[in-house]
Structure 1
Amino acid sequence: MALSINFAPVSVEGDCEILAGRQKYDKDRLAELRADFRDTHLFRRDGADSMVDIPITPEGSPLGNVQETIDLKRNQQYWPMLLQESLIQLLGRRPMLSQNPLKLLGARVPLIEHANLPDWLQRVSVTEIHTRHISVDGRRIYGLACDVRAKSFITATCDILIDAGMPIVGRYVSVELPAIDPRIMPKRKLVGRVRDIEGDELVLDDHEAGFDRVATKLAFLEPRTETFESCVRKALGREGEPVLEKSRQASQDLVSGPGKLRHITEIVQYIRDKRPAAAPGSHFVVHPLLGSSARLFPARELIEKPSLLFDPSGSRKDDWAERGLKTHGPYDEKVFAPKSLKIAIVCQSQLEGRVDEFIAKFLDGMPKVMQEGKNFARYGDGFIKRFRLNKPTVHYFLADGTSDEAYAKASREALDRARDGGFEWDLAIVQIEEEFKSLADGSNPYYTTKSIFLRRNVPVQSVRLETMSFPDSELVFSMNHLSLATYAKLGGTPWLLAASQTVAHELVIGLGSSASSESRLGPQTRHVGITTVFSSDGSYLLSDRTAAVAYGEYPGELRKTLKRTIETVRADDNWRSTDKVRLVFHSFKPFKDSEIEAIDALTGDLGLGNVTAAYLHIAPDHPFVVFDHSQKGLPARGGWKGVLGPARQLHLRLSEYESLVVFAGASELKQATDGMPRPALIKLHPKSTFKDMMYLSRQAFAFSAHSWRMLSPEPFPITIRYSDLIAQRLAGLASVKDWDPDAVTFGAIGHKPWFL
């Protein structure tokens, strides 16, 4: 496996001894110095009580009342700020979007061109340069992490756009903010959506406070892709679409493996040739991108696929979930009840026939649909046979239209039928449409129907009309995922994830979040979901109760969930106070010191005397890209997907506290236009008392294979993914009239993965 990473190490050459100034640290004074001496000095807080200034011009002298000589070769902590400033001086002729990280508009050929295209419609490359460090064998290596992407701009104010006949009404607009740094392009603030045009003013709705109106000469149209492309079509008429298609292909080059690698290599080579200054008399040496044959390349491994258990004895195992289910059946086959399900189907009346055909395929399977090139049916068994169930009782309840009221009426008819018949529904399957996603949550039939059934402890499985319309050759894949999620929502256990045999009792707690709003600029409701799994008898079990609360309440709810889980598991597994206990937290955000201190206090109050904890931030957004030069691509719609993309299971150890893990790699991409798969960055909080990043990274990867939502691997561990889903679903349900969050918090449905 020939790998490279978009990280170019740097070193320093020349006269590396510089005279610097030092003075007592003061926050306001530091800000003043940076503003007054931006062109001649760099400043850095150095420790708790002092700050250092370094002259960056030959004629400059230290400003601090204490002067000292610093050897840059030995004091590498000053390199990032010196390197960043040097790059600004070197590349600052290009317009800059931001300084940290450095984002510059590309100097190459524009990504959209036409003789009649107005110059205020632009699509260009944006180069991002981050100053970062990695650690190899305990040695800190500083360098540049480079990336490139496409960005669209509409630079004309709205008065010019109106004169040109551009579509303005219904679009969002921004205003420019005063420039803080003259070297940086002015920032824009989104202020509202255009409802009407009155003279030289725009009348806005869904607006920020104080922006019910804005002058056309002060407003800028938001350059979202659909808005930008609408303006291009308006400007070029019939020629617009061919120009846009060519532009999309040019932009695609920046996200594809070969194109991205080529651009990044060119950026690094350009900087390398320019020998950026470090300080007067010295300069940085920028080395080529790190390749796996280099001595400084991070330690790497392909994480072994985790074993899935399909029976309590552990004798039935597989590392492929689909094959394991077909061969062995679900983990809880002998104890799952009821075997004969009562299922309510809610669908639009005009679609009853199509839905009926779909439900038959779902329940009984599609044995005649063979996988191309192989002699087996991907969904030949069907839901009933796969999960060892009896033939269910199915009733249809028809919605007279697509409104939330029509769906609500049909759902209540289903509940009335159950009440009158003296039974309860085990499951509701609801036909929805992709278009429902564009509706506000409070009027979305998906959330309306879900809220009605969940209040009566009935799990809901929705199916999009668009999915039902797939050709059978594609539908079988969706059926696989659908059947798995449905069984889990019923309270079934498809499989368990085998845990490593350890002395310590282990709990893994995941935090995810989601925000919802009735409008883009309206008040947001943010929820945090909490998922807990624990090891028992060598396997990982999902806690029988999920939690989701408003963002401001999550620290308290996290402590309550942790306390409840520890007390329950300790009683069930007969923990002693001296037993070794390990707590692992996966979070959507970095942990605060105060949160860690509160958790430490809780474990002390519970009488756990031998506890270690790992606090992990699993971050999808970071500057690192990994290339696998042995990956030639896989056939897919539109060409070849994943060229140069890293494989799932790859793990790179960047430092004692950071790892890159590829949860979804080149094989998991759906089409050629999906671009490069990116690893997730796993960051361990320094206050963690369990620090084995190899163990923690492997464990996080294993949890990405433990999803009961889909048979293919998840792009994140279920601890994060499930928590995100809990928060997302709860945020949507909160907008529905008469929704009662206690239905999930205290109802029986809260003890099942209702959110899948």
Structure 2
Amino acid sequence: MSISLNGFKIELSAQTFKAYVQELPNNQEIKSIREALGSEWFSYWREGKVYGIPNVTTVQTPFGQPEELVCNEHLQLLANRISDLLPSIFKAYKPLKYKPFIFLAQKEEKELVSAITNKIKGLPEIISSFKIFPKYILEPKIFAIHNDEAGLGLFLRLKTSWQIQASLTLLQSEGVDLQNLYVVRRSRVQGQRRLVGRIDRLVNDVVHLSESFDQIDSINEAEVLLEGSKASFSRCLKTILGGRYANFESARTEQESKLLIGPAVDTTLDEMRAFLVSKSPLNIASGLEGMIGSRIEVINTQEYQSVISASSIEYCFDAARTKRHHYPWVGIDKYGPFSRENFSKKTPEIIVFFPDTAQGAVEKFIWALHHGISIKEIDEYGYVEKETSRYTGGFAKIFGLVNPKFTLQPIPWFHNTNKPPATVYKDAIEQVLAHREVMPDAAIVVLFDTHERLPDKMNPYLNSKALLLMAGVPVQNILLSKISQPHKELQYTLQNLTVALYAKMNGTPWTVDHDQTISDELVIGVGTCELSGSRFTKRQRFVGITTVFRADGNYLLGNLSKECTYDEYPEELRNSTLSILQEIKNQNNWRPGDTIRLVFHAARALKNVDIAEIIAQCVAQVGEHQNIEFAFLTISHDHPFTVLDKSQRGIVKNSIRKGIYAPERGTIVQLGRYTRLLSTSSPRLMKRPTTPLPTPLLIHLHPQSTYYDLTYLSEQVLKFTSLSWKSLFPAPDPVTIYYSDLIAGLLARLSNVRGWSPQMLNIKLRASKWFL
């Protein structure tokens, strides 16, 4: 390995510097102090004090008392000071944001759409008003590759900024449906938001809004542009380009890869470093300068390992952990699922709802699902050489079931095409459920592809799912285009579908290897869902989401808290956590003196809510008679760091190399005493050569934890990325985070369905993976 980060060392010219310090216990007053000091001073508040550094040689407004500060004791202050200096280095660039410092490429040859129009001839003229610019994000950060050697680095991220400069009238004249897209201001004064509102309609140069900030009902078209989101691009360009859209997207992906794949990122880092060196030194404070140094490399020494490779993950298919395999489907096909012996629904009934106009295709699909499919490899003489199907056994044989029953229930679509699809599906399903004494164990809902994209309120899948979940029936949807695939593609669809379906019926397809050295170990995901679904209304309705797993990945339960306001959430989190921990304590029979390890995963911090503190109090209360080892981790892809492995040459597929400089899955890099970077992807997992360099997971251990082995905890996070039963491939996040995101996404969408209630999710479906 030859590991480096996406940043440059900042070398300080002295060990101390002069700053001016004033006591300020209440940080709410810092705004008025900054207004009084104006541009003469840089100011920074921390732990009851304001630190000031003059921006000019002679100040007119005095501030604080001079103090000589030690650099290594005030690295966060220095990082903020350097961030404040960045605009003066990039004077030629208009900042999109100051912290972190964000700006766009200015050279026209770096704009992506113009490169596409040069490559694909004859595109409509309006395409030139769509722009994709490289976006640069610079952020000073503290890093400590070795425990006691903290330093400052300037880190660079590369993204893209999408813009639509065409007028709304022109877009509408091209046939684009503008309803429900968002508009932003062309220019704004200080204090104004850029985002204005959501389009209802455009009439006579006036944009009428269905939602907006500040209760604006309408705005003049000349004042706004369509928001340059990927959703806006997709809708506009699909309409304008029609059948040529796929070619455009392919070209866009290729152009974007020239910016975001490993070698491109590496080249940009070298170019940025050369530019920054030419602007050095940075005048940080009186007597203190900062020089841009070398790229940050992560090198192991004989005394200390800063980067390690986790062991490859083995999937387990029995409680004794004797049946193992490195690939989940091969293991299931060979041994059966982990819960094969004790699965309580050996003869499940699965009801299949489908449009009556697709009955033939559905019957063929269900036969293949039930009995398996055959794909013969034929030699040049027409003789069968071997069976190549990856789904030969069928659902019953592979998953150890006995005579599973598939009940086909057509939706009367042929005579009701004039009605809303959601109404047709809902009425038919209600009628079926009303005449049943015993509910099925699961349902499959088949949809037309066009129906899947309907708004939530009118979406037949969401309306069907809401109705069936409230009846205690987990649901698996599938599109008509998927069930009609050739066998070569269908085999993989069936693999993913059957794993998810088995898990939804409370089955456990696989777990991971885990050595149990203590009485009990649980891994608990803590998440939230905001239910309004609006970008404009104040977020008021929250639901807490908790998922509980054994350390081997066995899913124990999921819990949804009561709906609450943001202010009520801390108390609701406390109550639900206490309830869950007490339930697990009783269920797992914790005894006095037992050593119990509780590992909590959360995706993000909430403003003014110390989740770790609340969790720690709950753990102490429930485990007062046990020896509790407690760790609280925040785990996120949203951070400024990237890892490159310069020794990684990638792999060749179809004569094209992919994954150059992408670290292997399981690479763990120390970033600080409490922080690690974990690579969850790899060249082999990257889908195509144009896939951008993967972003690692940032794992941060809360200092209040009582279990500190970050290597063990990072390896556990890696194992939990392999426990998603939505697909046979590892998830980008551990399932503690990933499942919470899936639940949150579905809850937010289901809340738009009339009559929906999540009550059954905490009762009959508590152990079901209904959200897969």
- Kindly report which structure 2 residues correspond to 1:437-448, keeping only aligned pairs within 5 A, or say none: 437-448=452-463
- Is the Cα contact below 8 Å between 2:352 and 2:443 reproduced in 1? yes
Q: Deviations over 1:675-709 (max 9, x none)?
A: 22211111222222222211211111111122222
Say how many residue pairs are matched.
741
Q: Deviations over 1:49-94 (max 9, x none)?
A: x212112333448832422334657754432123223322111221
* More moved, 221-230 vs 260-269: 221-230
Tell me if 1:192 matches 2:198: yes
- Matches of 1:515 and 1:47 in 2, distance apart? 32
- Matches of 1:302 and 1:636 in 2, distance apart? 24
Distance 1:176 1:567, change over 3 A: same
1:602 corresponds to which residue? 618
Match of 1:617 among 617, 634, 658: 634
**RMSD of equivalent CA atoms:** 3.7
Q: Deviations over 1:232-259 (max 9, x none)?
A: 9999999999888766543332222222
1:508 corresponds to which residue? 523
1:473 corresponds to which residue? 488
- Kindly report which structure 2 residues correspond to 1:636-715, keeping only aligned pairs within 5 A, or say none: 640-715=657-732
Match of 1:220 among 225, 231, 234: 225
**Structure 1 residue ranges without an equivalent (≥5):** none
- Matches of 1:58 and 1:333 in 2, distance apart? 76
- Is the Cα contact below 8 Å between 1:173 and 1:194 reproduced in 2? no
- Matches of 1:315 and 1:455 in 2, distance apart? 39
- Matches of 1:727 and 1:133 in 2, distance apart? 33
Aligned to 1:97, the other structure's residue is in SS state coil
- Kindly report which structure 2 residues correspond to 1:523-602, keeping only aligned pairs within 5 A, or say none: 526-535=542-551, 539-547=552-560, 549-550=562-563, 552=565, 555-590=570-605, 594-602=610-618
- Is the Cα contact below 8 Å between 1:298 and 1:652 reproduced in 2? no
Tell me if 1:740 matches 2:757: yes
- Is the Cα contact below 8 Å between 2:581 and 2:619 reproduced in 1? no
- Kindly report which structure 2 residues correspond to 1:28-39, keeping only aligned pairs within 5 A, or say none: 30-35=30-35, 37-39=37-39
Distance 1:357 1:119, change over 3 A: closer
Tell me if 1:254 matches 2:272: no
Distance 1:736 1:138, change over 3 A: same
- Is the Cα contact below 8 Å between 1:454 and 1:743 reproduced in 2? yes
- Is the Cα contact below 8 Å between 1:578 and 1:608 reproduced in 2? no
- Is the Cα contact below 8 Å between 2:75 and 2:151 reproduced in 1? no
Distance 1:126 1:658, change over 3 A: same
Query: Normalising by structure 2, what TM-score?
Result: 0.86
1:137 corresponds to which residue? 147
Aligned to 1:531, the other structure's residue is in SS state strand
- Is the Cα contact below 8 Å between 1:129 and 1:145 reproduced in 2? yes
- Is the Cα contact below 8 Å between 1:631 and 1:645 reproduced in 2? yes
Q: Deviations over 1:122-181 (max 9, x none)?
A: 43211110111111232112101101222123468769x689989685342123675549
- Matches of 2:242 and 2:687 in 1, distance apart? 32
1:331 corresponds to which residue? 338
- Is the Cα contact below 8 Å between 2:605 and 2:611 reproduced in 1? no
Match of 2:182 among 172, 195, 204: 172
Distance 1:102 1:670, change over 3 A: same
2:122 corresponds to which residue? none
Distance 1:418 1:201, change over 3 A: closer
Distance 1:268 1:694, change over 3 A: same
2:77 corresponds to which residue? 78
1:3 corresponds to which residue? 3
Aligned to 2:766, the other structure's residue is in SS state helix
- Is the Cα contact below 8 Å between 1:506 and 1:582 reproduced in 2? yes
In the TM superposition, what is the alpha-carbon distance from 1:412 to its structure 2 partner? 3.1
- Is the Cα contact below 8 Å between 2:253 and 2:690 reproduced in 1? no
- Is the Cα contact below 8 Å between 2:633 and 2:702 reproduced in 1? yes
Amino acid in structure 2 at the alignment position of 1:257: G
* More moved, 627-636 vs 342-351: 627-636
2:328 corresponds to which residue? 321
Query: Normalising by structure 1, what TM-score?
Result: 0.88
1:107 corresponds to which residue? 106
2:372 corresponds to which residue? 365
1:87 corresponds to which residue? 86
**Structure 2 residue ranges without an equivalent (≥5):** 119-124, 380-384, 414-419
Amino acid in structure 2 at the alignment position of 1:350: T
In the TM superposition, what is the alpha-carbon distance from 1:11 to its structure 2 partner? 0.7
Distance 1:505 1:40, change over 3 A: same
1:284 corresponds to which residue? 290
2:132 corresponds to which residue? 123
In the TM superposition, what is the alpha-carbon distance from 1:353 to its structure 2 partner? 0.8
Distance 1:342 1:65, change over 3 A: closer
- Matches of 1:607 and 1:583 in 2, distance apart? 10
* More moved, 619-628 vs 548-557: 548-557
- Matches of 1:633 and 1:721 in 2, distance apart? 27
In the TM superposition, what is the alpha-carbon distance from 1:267 to its structure 2 partner? 1.0
- Is the Cα contact below 8 Å between 1:55 and 1:62 reproduced in 2? no
Match of 2:425 among 403, 407, 412: 407
- Matches of 1:371 and 1:630 in 2, distance apart? 41
1:40 corresponds to which residue? 40
1:716 corresponds to which residue? 733
Q: Deviations over 1:422-464 (max 9, x none)?
A: x442221111244444323232211222222223322222112
Match of 2:767 among 744, 751, 756: 751
In the TM superposition, what is the alpha-carbon distance from 1:317 to its structure 2 partner? 2.7
Aligned to 1:666, the other structure's residue is in SS state coil
Q: Deviations over 1:566-594 (max 9, x none)?
A: 33443344422332222211112226664
Amino acid in structure 2 at the alignment position of 1:707: S
* More moved, 399-408 vs 343-352: 399-408
- Matches of 1:256 and 1:624 in 2, distance apart? 15
Amino acid in structure 2 at the alignment position of 1:2: S
Tell me if 1:206 matches 2:211: yes
- Is the Cα contact below 8 Å between 1:42 and 1:82 reproduced in 2? yes
In the TM superposition, what is the alpha-carbon distance from 1:650 to its structure 2 partner? 1.5
Distance 1:358 1:233, change over 3 A: closer
Distance 1:92 1:158, change over 3 A: farther
- Is the Cα contact below 8 Å between 2:421 and 2:451 reproduced in 1? no
Q: Deviations over 1:637-662 (max 9, x none)?
A: 89544332222212112112111112
Amino acid in structure 2 at the alignment position of 1:550: E
In the TM superposition, what is the alpha-carbon distance from 1:96 to its structure 2 partner? 0.5
What fraction of aligned residue pairs are identical, expressed as a percent?
Answer: 25
In the TM superposition, what is the alpha-carbon distance from 1:6 to its structure 2 partner? 0.4
- Is the Cα contact below 8 Å between 1:192 and 1:521 reproduced in 2? no
In the TM superposition, what is the alpha-carbon distance from 1:476 to its structure 2 partner? 1.7
Aligned to 2:428, the other structure's residue is in SS state helix
Distance 1:594 1:72, change over 3 A: closer
* More moved, 627-636 vs 517-526: 517-526
Amino acid in structure 2 at the alignment position of 1:124: F
- Is the Cα contact below 8 Å between 1:309 and 1:318 reproduced in 2? yes
- Matches of 2:534 and 2:288 in 1, distance apart? 53
Amino acid in structure 2 at the alignment position of 1:578: G
- Is the Cα contact below 8 Å between 2:8 and 2:296 reproduced in 1? yes
- Is the Cα contact below 8 Å between 1:168 and 1:194 reproduced in 2? no
1:149 corresponds to which residue? 159
In the TM superposition, what is the alpha-carbon distance from 1:314 to its structure 2 partner? 3.1
Amino acid in structure 1 at the alignment position of 2:403: K
